[in-house]
Structure 1
Amino acid sequence: MNDVAIPSNSTAIYRWRRLCRRTMLARRVATAGTERKAATTVIEAALREILNQTDYTTLGFYWPIKGEVDLRPFVRDTLADRFELALPYIPVRNQPVRFRRWRPGAPMTQGFWNIPIPEDETCLSPDILLIPLVGFDSQGFRLGNGGGYYDRTLKSAGRRILKVGVGFEKTHLPTIHPQWHDIPMDIVVTESGARVWS
């Protein structure tokens, strides 16, 4: 993906990123069960160390789709006693996401893209976000699913949020050719450990 010259205009970059997204998604989905389990164990250990060094109280995470790293058992078993927890939902298409309170065993309903969201409509404002990565680059910029929802959310937050990207090392790119709307992660965690930019 990275030995192809990328023109400097935004249309060409958009096309490149769309192709790159498909390639990275295929790599992520193809990650075998044993490899995925080993990687997730390392990722959880790195996240535990990062979170132990913070005094934040409200953590937003994600319900995994398309081969994303599944942190639900880790969140349920390790974080539920320490943090208020929240899952994202999309109240209006192409607008920032909001976060509903989640607790282990909480009743769920289907949200946007049929991703489960809590039935409890209580909204929280996370000060830490665990954000899934389709791909990421050496400057901490994230390639997501292409909807721009996390970028809109972070831009509109109006306050400091610790942004922790979570993904597999095989989706690391030298650059995603970031555009004006892209917001870099503070930390990216993969099975190779944590990269910190903040």
Structure 2
Amino acid sequence: MGKKYVYHYFNVKGRGETPRLLFAAAGVEYKDDRVEFSDWPKVKGTTPLGALPYLEVDGQKIPESVAIARYLANEFGLVGKSNLDKAKIDVLIDQMIATRESMVAIKYEKDEAKKAELMKKFNEEQIPKCFGYIEKTLSENSSGFLVGNQVTWGDLALIDLDGMLINFETSTNLDKFPKVVAHRKKVEALPRISTYLKNRPVTPF
């Protein structure tokens, strides 16, 4: 009998979408517990760290979105084929996390002058650093995936980040990274991912 998974996160994509993409890519069933923001006050006390997401695996609770994604990737064989592959993916994930953190800082900055400064730095420094490295990584791998010749959780995290950038409040344009654009199309066309993307709930972000 397989493991019983229950995934708890808000009814948005946000930082909790990559684990859902992992379940989709692996074709593994789970309960997708989408918490409405209005219900959060009564749910908060039941979570391991007073935050979402968290994953239940046969009743055991695992918090933190990246820890959850890495756990699922290992469970489902989406981590490459060697420790070197894992390390390469982790480097890419670290770059993506830094980019996400910059986006959050911009989104919640209330001082308009400071916000404009953060946006400028984001577009002129963070995006070229992160996506320049990803573009180079894709250029060095003929498969069209980030690492190896099949999809890994790095690929899923990247299309998740791409989607966030498309809806972000900046003029960030990924067209200058053609291999990243091609990568997104390739991964989104995978049958299980394509089906998930077509059927997932429509949310504001």
Q: Which structure has the larger Rg over C-alpha atoms?
A: 2
**Structure holding more strand per residue:** 1
- Answer 1 or 2: which has greater helix percent: 2
TM-score calculated relative to the size of structure 2:
0.28
